[in-house]
Structure 1
Amino acid sequence: MLAFRTFSFYNPCTGKFTAHSLRLPEVNFRCKGAFLLRRSIKTRLIISFFLVMLPVVVFLIANTLYAKNVVRDKVSETYRSTLDMFGDKTDRTLNEISNYVNKMAVLDNDIGLLSSYPYGTDDYYLTKIRIQNKLQRDNVFYNPVNTLFVYNSQDLFFSTLGSYRNMNEMLHKQLPFIVTDNSVQSHVWKTWHDSSIDSGDFLIRIEEVPDSAIYVGAIVPVSELIGELSIQWKDGAIGQSAIFNTEGRQLDGNTENNWFPLAHQSALQSALKSDEPYRYVKDPQTKRRYLIMSRPSSQADFTTSILVPESYILQSLPFFQRATYFMTFGLVFIFALYLFFIRHTLFKPLQLLIGGMRKLTFGNLDVRLETNNTIEFVFMANTFNTMAEQIKELKIGMYEEQLRAQKFELKQLQAQINPHFYMNSLNIIYNYAALKDTDSVKKMSLHLADYFRFIMRVNRDLITLEEELKHIANYMDIQKFRFPNKLSCDIDIPPDLLSLALPALTVQPFVENAIIHGYANHRKPFSITIRGQRIHEGNTACLLLAIEDSGTGFPADILEHVNNSDASPSAEYSGGLGIMNVIQRLRLRYDGLANVRLYVAEGGGAGVRVILPITVEKDLIALAEKETVTTHAI
């Protein structure tokens, strides 16, 4: 696709940069960034590399995750079997002790007779001694029982393997509360705590003798169960174990033994109440993961739990994990080297070529590309440099041709003479000569000579605003000979603006157009007003000239035709040639910075507003040596 591109060339005649157009291939550099990125070679190469390597990386990661899951499952099953073995053994032992307590309370004759003897009699003490001997005998056989006791409201006797004094103190203090606790009498083992004994936490099982207020019971210290659990689990070598009551409190858990490293007990509580055979939890503080398994006892209200760090479970996989990570990082490193290589051999030359094309598109025809060792890019760079040189030569030829055409057009525009104006002026001179009015003939001849001298001047492109106004005054004097006492022209321009430079015949064609087309009724007076002031548009100082008349005004199609930046003459309005010529000359001169706009003046007449950027012309400073009066009437 071909399109015109605008280039700025230096005009040695005017000392200005003018705009010209060349037909070059259209390159849309204003496309959206996402669209360009999606279609770039770099993006496609990166995407293709990832499409090839991503399945490999995904396979390695998936293989590692699968291995981890297999190890977790197998190790968890092994640890679960170990925990179940301990739980089953503990439940069997507690069940045997429960059966013994139940037989003592229901089937033992001495305990049955004890309730029939009054307290303090010889038969009562003899029966008590026989029961005491049985308790001492059986206490050794039922491991891990620590204490067997018989209790009523008047008496307590027991057999213990621990401190007799501490146990006696604890039983006298706690048994009145224990026997009244309904949950203790529910034929299950209950956890209890008393700091007066060494273990602190213990399991207690009591059975009431039928038809009496006598209770037979057994006490198992939790420390005994923890000891057996530690022996079987090898506490600390693999993981850690503990026993919890139904409220989630660790039994026999002092500061040293409170080993569970979970920062928040909520994770532990949820794991204890879970029906899952095992689950993994994370410590919120250390971010470490642990395998936790729990098994509630069927004989007592406690739960046995073990905790194993995941790092220990996966200790056989670090090599494969590190190998996966190294392979991933190795692929990324290889990709980085690959990008560096193709950047040096492909991307960088392409960027240089694209940058050169962009500069060439924007008019910088002196750009040249350097070549590298790649054959393809050497050919492309040489071709680009040759193309740029040819475009530069073409630009110079086109510039010289356009400069000649511009000079010819400007001379032609300056040399345009309205034949009707010329013939009317000669007729006026003839009529004054016929009337032998020599003074009027002299004035008319001088005005006409000055008018043609100004029109035919070709040695200067710019004149001062004062010279333009003098030419307008000379033109109005000529027209006043045709329409005596009918025409007037008022000029209101500050003196400091009269020395400003502007192209010749910038204002006069609008005055001439006003008289030719706006002065329709020659019987009525016709006035023209020219005002000027300095304004600012952005950071640019401009000269504003407004030409208004009291005539018929512009037709609506001409207003739309000119104000829509259409500088071609209208077929329906042949008189607009002078206006269009002015607009074309100002556009060429000021590179589109000048502005001409038509409007309807007050009273319905025609109005023209001309805005020109103010420039300092050194060769015109000498022309503005004196100031003229601000407001004068012609």
Structure 2
Amino acid sequence: MPPSADRQPAVLMGGIYLNPLKLKRNSIQFKLFSGVLIVLVPLIALLFFNNYYAIHVVRDQISVSNKNTISLYMRQIDENLDDVSKYIYKLALSDPDLIELNQKGLTDSYMLSKVRLSNELSQDILLLKAVDSMFVYSIPNQDILKTYRNSPSDALFVYSQLMTRLQPEMQSNEDITKQWYAETIGKEHYLVTYSKTDNVIIGAWVNVKNLLTPISYVNKGENVTPLFATDRGEPLVNEDFVREHQIDLNRQTDSYYMSGSKEQFLVVGQKSSISNISLIALVPDSDILKGLPYLTRVIILCFLAVALLVPFSLMMLRKTVLLPLRRILMAMKLVKEGNLKAAITPYRTSDEFEIVNDSFNGMIQEIETLKISYYEEQLQKQQAELKYYQLQIKPHFFLNAINIIYNLAQVKKYELIQELSISLSRYFRYMLQTNQYSVPLDKEIKHIRNYLVIQEHRFPNRFQYEINVENQALPIPVPPLAVQTFVENAVKHAMSMDRVMKLTIDAELRKDEESTRLWIRVQDTGTGFSEEALAKLRAGERIVDEDGEHIGVSNIRERLHHLNPGSELTFTNRPEGGASVEMLIPV
């Protein structure tokens, strides 16, 4: 049964609506749900852990392999670059031809030194592997000596930009040695180093792409992207590739990490020991996981098996256990609410539930029979009490009424005698009706008027009454003598020969969003209830005084409870004096 709109949101599992907010910890649904979770959660966690562990192991292996490779190449590059740095340092300290270049003026000795130095550099550059060009710049003569391994097409542009950027060093009087650093000239990236001694700058540079040529050749056929990056995470090679996949290169390269937006890449790096760059390898994660096809299939099959097994198991539990229990619980709930017709309709189920259903239906039939018998017995008892109360006509009331008629006859007030006789006959006729369980409020009010007319003649000038009843309330049924009993009690206990007693009866219909109820109030101007009597009335106890036990109020309370469930009786003392009784009867 789907949950209604006003209930808490439920989860559908295997055709069963499980509301985790309303599941009681001791319920079968909670135990079944918990049992399924206890089995599934460790299984799923194991599958996830196994998959994660396998992926982690493969990534570790791939990262170690690539780490070893790029570390080897980074050491080779560092060694080659260090050889160039040592060569430049040695040349600056020991070559005599550099002395002539420190002098200003293009003399013959200057030109001879320049030719000898050019020949020396042209021979030595072939032995230095990690360099594209070497240069010697004479600051006094603003003359540059260049030599190339292979003359690059952009060599002139590189030197023009490089000389411009070295202007601050040229104007300095101090000796400067600059280790290899990354320099961007145009759209290309270069590694540059130089040493300034006196008025001569000796330096070398290499295009970063040329440093990757041996690595690209070795990794040919593998989907691995090598590149160089600065210590700020700026790529020096394959910039478009890094930007397209949004790969973060600004992390520590001590161990591998995963990065990338569209596709994840395993990032492994090795920092150079003599420059501000790092050699990095990017391996696509998809290529790494291709090495786990069998394990991936097993995990997928396990997930599919669990996904199919759980709903099937829950459907079987629902059909064999939960639905029969739900039918029994729904029937028991209806019985608890008072519906004894809530038998479980026979249906095909397990033998144990069939026995329970048959026993439940038989028990409900027996309870219904016993309840009907008890209800009839209670009604007979109340009817007997009502008859007793109706026949409980006090002799002094009857004698007082006859005495009033006699006195009126002496003064020859025949019209009052007729009026009193009619009221008295109607009063006794109503009191002797014992076969009705309820009467319209209009009929009860008419009977009360007859009674009050008699009392008005009995206590002339000392008794007043007022009746205010809405027309909508007149046809509402009430138990007979329900209001009359409280009227008689008011006259009996509130009447005094020292003052005028006024009796007021009000009745109206009160409606709210949930129900409509008949409100009746009887109040007088007497001395009110005693504290003891008020406590007993509110507690529902019977009152015993010198006249014996009073069954009228208890009888009304019982009849309202059985015939009008939800009725309320309220007893209070008025602040200005007198008693007040209020009744609320559901319509």
Q: Under a length normalisation based on structure 2, what TM-score does the superposition of the two structures give?
A: 0.81
Contact residue 179 and residue 185 of structure 1 kept, 8 A: no
Confirm or deny: 8 A CA contact 2:507 2:521 kept in the other structure: no
What is the CA distance between 1:77 and its match in structure 2?
1.7
Equivalent residue letter for 1:224: N
Give, in whole Å, the separation in 1 of the partners of 2:570 and 2:27.
Answer: 46
For residue 31 of structure 2, the aligned residue among 44, 55, 61 is 44
Which residue number corresponds to residue 235 of structure 2? 250
Do residues 551 (structure 1) and 526 (structure 2) align? yes
Tell me, yes or no, if structure 1 residue 315 matches structure 2 residue 290.
yes
Q: CA deviation at 1:333?
A: 1.9
Shift of 1:342: 1.6
* % same residue: 26
- 121 and 299 in structure 1: CA distance in 2 versus 1, 3 angstrom threshold: same
* Displacement of 1:280: 0.6
Moved more, 572-581 or 508-517: 572-581
Tell me which residue corresponds to 1:81.
68
Give the 3 Å change call, closer, same or farther, for CA 299–326 of structure 1 in structure 2.
same
Structure 1 residue 507, shift from structure 2 partner: 4.1
Q: Which residue of 2 aligns with 1:69?
A: 56
1:194-343 pair list within 5 angstroms:
194-195=185-186, 200-208=188-196, 212-234=198-220, 237-251=222-236, 253=237, 258-260=240-242, 264=246, 267-269=248-250, 271=251, 274=252, 276-283=253-260, 285-286=261-262, 288-343=263-318
Q: CA 1:600/1:366 → structure 2, altered by over 3 Å: closer, same or farther? A: closer
Secondary structure of 2:361's aligned partner: helix
Task: Report the more deviating stretch, 583-592 or 421-430.
Answer: 421-430
Does the residue aligned with 1:243 lie in a helix, a strand or coil? strand
Distance 2:231 2:586 in 1: 93
Amino acid at match of 1:405: K
Q: How many residues align?
A: 560
Q: 1:586 to 1:152 in 2, by over 3 A?
A: same
Tell me, in whole angstroms, the C-alpha distance in 2 between the residues paired with 1:336 and 1:607.
65
Q: 1:152 aligns with which of 138, 150, 162?
A: 138
> Given that residues 270 and 279 in structure 2 are in contact (C-alpha distance below 8 angstroms), is that contact kept between their aligned partners in structure 1?
yes
Q: 1:422 to 1:140 in 2, by over 3 A?
A: same
Residue of structure 2 aligned with 1:529, choices 497, 500, 503 = 503
Answer yes or no: is the 8 Å Cα contact 2:383–2:434 preserved in 1: no
TM-fit CA distance, 1:569: 2.3
Which is further off, 421-430 or 527-536?
Answer: 421-430
Decide which of 44, 47, 66 is 1:60's aligned counterpart: 47
Q: Deviations over 1:287-313 (max 9, x none)?
A: x43222222323333222222223323
Q: Distance in 2 between matches of 1:143 and 1:399?
A: 113
Shift of 1:465: 5.8
Is 1:412 aligned to 2:385, yes or no?
A: no
Distance of aligned partners of 1:477 and 1:115 in 2 relative to their CA distance in 1, 3 Å threshold: closer
Match of 1:385 among 361, 371, 378: 361
Matched-pair contact (CA < 8 Å) for 2:102–2:138: no
How far does residue 385 in structure 1 lie from its aligned partner after superposition? 1.8
Are residue 130 (structure 1) and residue 105 (structure 2) matched? no
**2 CA distance for matches of 1:343 and 1:451?**
66
- Secondary structure of the residue aligned to 1:148 is strand
Residue 282 of structure 1: how far off its partner (Å): 2.3
Partner residue in 2 for 1:186? 177
Q: 2:512 aligns with which of 538, 543, 559?
A: 538
Q: Given that residues 511 and 528 in structure 1 are in contact (C-alpha distance below 8 angstroms), is that contact kept between their aligned partners in structure 2?
A: no
Q: Is the 8 A contact 1:529 1:549 kept in 2?
A: yes
Task: Say which SS state the counterpart of residue 290 (structure 2) adopts.
Answer: coil
SS where residue 61 of structure 1 aligns?
helix
Q: CA deviation at 1:62?
A: 2.6
Question: C-alpha displacement at 1:240, in angstroms?
Answer: 0.9
**C-alpha distance in structure 2 between counterparts of 1:165 and 1:507, whole Å:** 120
Q: What TM-score, normalized by structure 1, do the two folds share?
A: 0.76
Query: 1:473 and 1:103, CA in 2 relative to 1: closer, same or farther beyond 3 A?
Result: closer
| 1:291–1:308 Cα contact (<8 Å) kept | yes
CA contact (8 A) 1:240 1:259 kept: no
1:446 Cα shift? 7.0
User: Which of 585, 590, 605 in structure 1 is aligned with 2:578?
Assistant: 605
Q: Tell me the equivalent position of 1:569.
A: 542
- Alpha-carbon distance, 1:75 to partner: 2.1
Query: Does residue 375 of structure 1 match 2:361?
Result: no
| Contact persistence 2:463–2:501 (CA under 8 A) | yes
2:564 is matched with: 591
What code does the residue aligned with 2:503 have? T
Kept after mapping to 1: 8 A contact 2:494/2:526: yes
Structure 1 unaligned runs (5+)? 1-31, 615-634
The one-letter amino acid of 1:577's match is H
Letter of the structure 1 residue corresponding to residue 180 of structure 2: W
RMSD of equivalent CA atoms:
3.9
| CA separation of 1:213 and 1:323: change in aligned 2, threshold 3 A | same
Q: Distance in 2 between matches of 1:495 and 1:39?
A: 54
Asked whether the 8 Å contact 1:240–1:306 carries over to 2, the reply is: yes
Amino acid at match of 2:432: M
CA contact (8 A) 1:451 1:474 kept: yes
Do residues 141 (structure 1) and 123 (structure 2) align? Answer: no
Q: Which residue of 1 aligns with 2:465?
A: 490
The amino acid that maps onto 2:33 is I
Q: Which residue of 2 aligns with 1:20?
A: none
- 1:632 corresponds to: none
| Helix, strand or coil at the partner of 1:189 | strand
Q: Distance in 1 between matches of 2:474 and 2:159?
A: 123
Change (3 A) 1:42 1:439: closer
8 Å Cα contact 2:468/2:506 also seen in 1? yes
Task: Give secondary structure in 2 for the equivalent of 1:188.
Answer: strand
Deviation (angstroms), 1:110: 3.5
CA contact (8 A) 1:71 1:313 kept: yes
Q: State the alpha-carbon separation in 2 of the partners of residues 188 and 526 from structure 1.
A: 122
CA contact (8 A) 1:553 1:600 kept: yes
- Given candidates 485, 488, 494, the residue that maps to 1:512 is 488
- What SS is found at the alignment partner of 1:141? coil
Deviations 1:329-372 (A, max 9, x none): 31232122111112111111111111122222223222332232
Match of 1:99 in 2: 86
| Paired amino acid for 1:380 | V
**CA offset at residue 100 of structure 1?**
2.6
